Amino acid sequence: MTIRFDGRVALVTGAGGGLGRAHALALAARGAKVVVNDLGVTRDGSGSSQSAAEAVVAEIEALGGEALANGASVTDFAAVSQMVAEATERWGAIDILVNNAGVLRDRSFAKMEIEDFRFVVDVHLMGAVNCTKAVWDGMRARNYGRIVMTTSSSGLYGNFGQANYGAAKMALVGLMQTLAIEGAKNDIRVNCLAPTAHTRMTEDLGAALPLEALGPDLVSPGLLYLVSEEAPTRCILGAGAGGFERAYVTLTQGIRVVGPDAPEQVAARFDAISDRADEIVPDMGAAQGMIELMKAQKAQG
């Protein structure tokens, strides 16, 4: 099976450099028309310029592809909606959305200003919400859509100094989980990509990373699969240095304790609660309640 995107239109946010640029070029190389969105801000979200997006469009056009530059801020729903409307008028639809735009304002939580927390969440989480909402009805109407949220190991597992970033990135997993359920009947498949790559977002870590092995282009093959016709849905795909892994949100079988000493029983039997034998990946949130009720019913026997 060769993955192609002929006749498809893709919107990639934060596509003026790094991972977004690599994704946009990879999609265009396989036939997609690409909306290259980038506000052109610095790493912390200040300033703006559309020149980065225009440069990527020029690269795509030089290779014989079709692309459109757009400088809308993903935090501005009206601007995002206008961007989608313009692309739809030009090409007829948005089939693929890659929510890649992001910023960093790293600092330990004790030293972090609340505005820096709010701004990072606004860009990563609400930016993805705004873009997804803007394309959602069109995808439902055509019974086709492929959406990727860019999550991070910092959200899945934590990272010192990134409480704001990690919270936003884990929130995108929750967004994916529900949208994949809601979009299933209209063949809208929603996934998460957790990349490891050397970009300006990671330049401060340079001394600790083998940079030559961490090109953004080594992440994009995973992205292409997640937005292909044969894409999975509700997948968290790790990607970096040519390696690919899956992350799961799992649920152990646990135990049941009741009575006045229940807190002490939880403490005493925490190893049993944590036992990963027979853990599951729930199809929906209600699975937790169902397991708990089954324990109660069994105890009443």
Catalytic residues: 165
Would you put residue 187 in left (φ > 0), alpha (ψ -120 to 50) or beta? left
The token duo for 285 is: 């949130």
Cα separation, 64 vs 233, whole angstroms: 31
CA-CA-CA-CA torsion for 17, 166, 133, 59, nearest 10 degrees? Answer: 10
The H-or-E segment that residue 82 falls in is: helix 77-91
- State the Cα–Cα distance between residues 169 and 179, nearest whole angstrom: 16
Measure the CA–CA gap between 116 and 123, rounded to whole angstroms: 11
Q: Cβ(141)–Cβ(135) under 8 Å?
A: no
